[in-house]
Every structure is written in structure tokens, then in C-alpha cells.
Amino acid sequence: MIDFRLIRLAVAGAALTITAAAWGQGTAAAEAKNMRLVGYNDLQARTAYQPTISHQGQRYIAYVGHHGDNKLNPLTGKMENNGTSIIDVTDVKNPKYLAHIPGEEGKAEAGGAQMVRVCSGAELPKADKSKFYMLRVFGNQAHEIWDVTDPAKPSLLTTIVKGLKGTHKNFWECDTGIAYLVSGHPQWRTNRMTQIYDLSDPAHPVFIRNFGLVGQQPGAGGDVPIAVHGPISPGPKG
């Protein structure tokens, strides 16, 4: 029986690799309360921002978004812009790094692919029931859908929207397929408003509407209200 709590700890350990390394070097005393570190992965020395875990068949797969940088991918032997790491965390003591999908060139929030969400086709109303889908940002430029049915061999399914000037923390309702995408529409006065899409069939995104605060929209005047950080939807059941 897989203990899902330990999987969460494994991902937390992956995100805190630098701290764990510091402990190992004796530079700080290890402390814990109501938890313990059971395993970690160094994520190819890439910074970790947004992690999510998907139960795929008999495995638990972690998807981790990264801020921008450029690091070596030992799986390919190439330097790659930070993007999305995919790790098999079924064995929480020995997480296995499966794949890295490069992101936008640039440092910190100027590059990478910091946001990631995953839905199964079995949950989505109009998707292929045998597949798994990952929604991610491509730096500040675009939102993408990847087929991650085989997490070791992810493939780009479609680009939802591109030509943006900012992105951040998206939200995807797996039961309805509705996605709330934090975007910087080039005609809007803010780099973070919300674009709403129907992704119930991930291969064929359907635009619903743009949404923001009064004063952010094209043609408005005066001060620009603060940008959205990340919407959260409880869905119809909420």
C-alpha cells in the first residue's frame, strides 16, 4: 500500500534539496516537527516552484515547475533552460527523475516554466480517457498542453495561447475542464489578468472570455489595479 503522505514528503524534500545538502555538510542542524525527510531528488540542480502529483496507473508522478536558469540535463547531456521536471515518486525513498521539458530562456521569473497542473483524461469530460494531460506555462510567453501519458516521453499536444507578456499560477478544474489562466494579454494594461478556457478536450482548447479588474482592460485610464497572482476555483460542487 502506497503511503501518499510519504510521497508529499518526498516532493517537499526535492524542493528543499539545497537545505538538505547544507545539513549533510554540517552547516546547519537538521530540525523537523511532525514530519521526516525520507528521500529527495536534486532536480538537476534546478530551483523548484510549483509541484503537483498525479496518480497514473500504479505510479505516482511528480511534476515540478521551475523558475528560469540554464542547467545540464544528464539524461540528454545538454544544457537546457529550466522548464518542467517529471519524477517518479512511487518509491518515496528513491525518486526517479524521468524527464525535463525545457522552458523559456531567462533568469528567475523572466524565464522557465514555473506553473504546472495535471488532469487525467478519465476526469475530463471530452478527453481521451486513456491519457494524462499537463497544463503548463512557457515562461511569460504562452500556455501549453502536454500529453504525459508516458511521463518519461512527454509530447507537446497544443499551445493554448501565445504572444503574452506575463503568466503565473493557473487553475484547472479537472471535473469540468475549465481553466483559469493567468496571462499578460498584450492589449491589456497589466501583465497578469485572467483568460478563461474550456480545456475539457485538451487537444481543442475553446476560449471563453478575458477577465480582470476595472482599469486593467484595454482603453481604460487612471491607475492600474494590482495584478492577479493566482485564481482558485472550488468548481460547481463548491
Average pLDDT over residues 5-29: 48
List % helix, strand, coil for the chain (3-state, nearest 5). Answer: 10, 35, 55
**pLDDT exceeds cutoff 50 at 22:** no
SS3 at position 237: coil
Return the ∠ at Cα 181 (arms to 180 and 187), rounded to 5°.
125
What is the model's pLDDT at position 8?
54
What is the model's pLDDT at position 56?
98
- Domain-wise residue ranges, the chain: 41-211
Residue 223 is given by DSSP the state P
What is the model's pLDDT at position 21?
45
Per the CB < 8 A criterion, the answer to whether 62 and 51 are in contact is: yes
Which is higher by pLDDT, 199 or 21? 199
Q: How confident is the model at residue 1 (pLDDT cuts 50, 70, 90)?
A: low
HSE toward the beta carbon, residue 92, CA cutoff 13 A: 17
pTM metric for this prediction: 0.85
pLDDT in tens, 87-125: 999 999 999 999 999 999 999 999 999 999 999 999 999
What is the model's pLDDT at position 29?
67
**pLDDT exceeds cutoff 70 at 17:** no
Which is higher by pLDDT, 18 or 174? 174
% of the chain residues with pLDDT over 90: 82
Residues 6 or more apart in contact with residue 234 via CB below 8 angstroms: none
% of the chain residues with pLDDT over 70: 87
3-state SS string over 132-186?
Answer: EEEEEEECCCEEEEEECCCCCCCEEEEEEECCCCCECCCEECCCCCEEEEEECCC
What is the model's pLDDT at position 16?
42
SS3 at position 9: helix
CATH no., domain 41-211: 2.130.10.10
What is the model's pLDDT at position 32?
84
